[in-house]
Amino acid sequence: MSIEARNLFFSYGGADVLKDLSFFAEAGELVAVLGPNGVGKSTFFGCLLGFLHPRTGEVLAEGKPIRGMSPRELASLIAYIPQYAPQTFNYTVLDLVTMGMTNQIPIFSSPKPEHRRRAMEALESLGIAHLADRGSGSISGGERQLALLARALVQDARVLIMDEPTANLDYGNSFRVMQRVQELGARGYTVIFSTHEPNQAFRYATRVLALLDGGVLADGPPDTALTEELLRRLYGVGVAVRSAEVEGESFRLSIPYEKGGKPQ
């Protein structure tokens, strides 16, 4: 399913945080959103999810404006996977995933066996069915991210918005989570994720959206869009981009680097 932002302007009352931001993504695309801290990534996601209303401009899902849609309707189109954060209540993984079906369960009723079965299927499709009865607070950060991913899948939305999916995850868990995210792209989901690591964009994204000062600095496939010059402008540090070959497959890598610069 496609998602589109048209000429978004947004302000929290003062100066504009988003300035004329336009963007379009189709089914199967994996879009990495890059940009320095405070550039408006969260605001942009807020607008895509319908939490924040742009001053002018609009967001369209499958060509229909999301403004004015009910929360339930919106939830069937776009799902949100938050950053890893500790939680107060230790729900089982299965219960956590079942919550994703809120938009399909009438207000005064509870999940039926069929809902639990669907939650199990989602867990199986992500390879974590064995965690169903574990407390979601006592599994690893990577496993919890996958559980949240399963929760987004049962919501039946085809656009997934992920806020730094690998924040606070270790090296191995980051890789495992992102592999699953990549598979979802192949399954036809539209995935939009923010990241602070250009190498993740190179490694997993089919497209990069680089934001600076509330506008789009670059938009395109990572290999052509993420140049040394662009990364330097984005982050204010020197960056070298190189290629490396692993078992015949070519990967691009970015390395922060200042000419003649030495660590202090």
Partner 1 sequence: MMKEREQKGLPRYGRRFLFLGLGFVLVFLGSFLLGRYAVSMSTTLRILSTWLLEKLSFGALRMEGSWTELEAAVVLNIRLPRILCAALVGAALSAAGASYQGMFRNPMVSPDLMGASTGAGFGASLAILLGFSYFGIMVTAFCFGLGAVLLAWLVSRFSRLNATLALVLAGVMISSLFSACTSFVKLVADTQEQLPAITYWLMGSLSSVKGEDTAFAAIPILLGLIPLLLLRWRMNLLTVSEAEARSMGLNTGRLRLAVILCATLVTAASVAVSGMIGWVGLVIPHFCRMLFGYDYRRLVPASVLMGGAFLMLVDDIARVITTSELPLGILTSFVGAPVFLYLIVQGGAEREH
Q: Which residues bind partner 1 (CB under 8 A)?
A: 49, 51, 70-76, 78-80, 82, 85, 87-92, 95, 99-100, 102-103, 105, 107-111, 113, 116-117, 120, 129, 132-133, 151, 155, 161
Closest to partner 1 by CB, 166 or 254: 166
Q: Minimum Å distance from CB 35 to partner 1?
A: 19
Q: Minimum Å distance from CB 149 to partner 1?
A: 13
Q: Minimum Å distance from CB 177 to partner 1?
A: 17
Residues for the chain: how many in total? 264
Q: Minimum Å distance from CB 19 to partner 1?
A: 23
Give the type of residue at 119. A
Q: Are 21 and 5 in contact (CB under 8 A)?
A: yes
Q: Minimum Å distance from CB 6 to partner 1?
A: 21
| Parallel, antiparallel or unpaired: strands 30-34 and 78-81 | unpaired
User: Which residues have a Cβ under 8 Å from the Cβ of 178 and sit 6 or more positions away?
Assistant: 165, 166, 200, 203, 204
Closest to partner 1 by CB, 85 or 246: 85
> DSSP code of 92?
B
Q: Are 55 and 9 in contact (CB under 8 A)?
A: yes
Closest to partner 1 by CB, 21 or 79: 79
Closest to partner 1 by CB, 113 or 248: 113
Q: Minimum Å distance from CB 171 to partner 1?
A: 26
Closest to partner 1 by CB, 79 or 178: 79
Closest to partner 1 by CB, 120 or 212: 120
Q: Whole-angstrom Cα distance, residue 46 to residue 51?
A: 5
Coil, strand or helix at 254 = strand
What are the backbone angles phi and psi of residue 6, rounded to the nearest 5°?
Answer: -115, 115
Give the type of residue at 35. G
User: Which residues have a Cβ under 8 Å from the Cβ of 139 and sit 6 or more positions away?
Assistant: 93, 131, 147
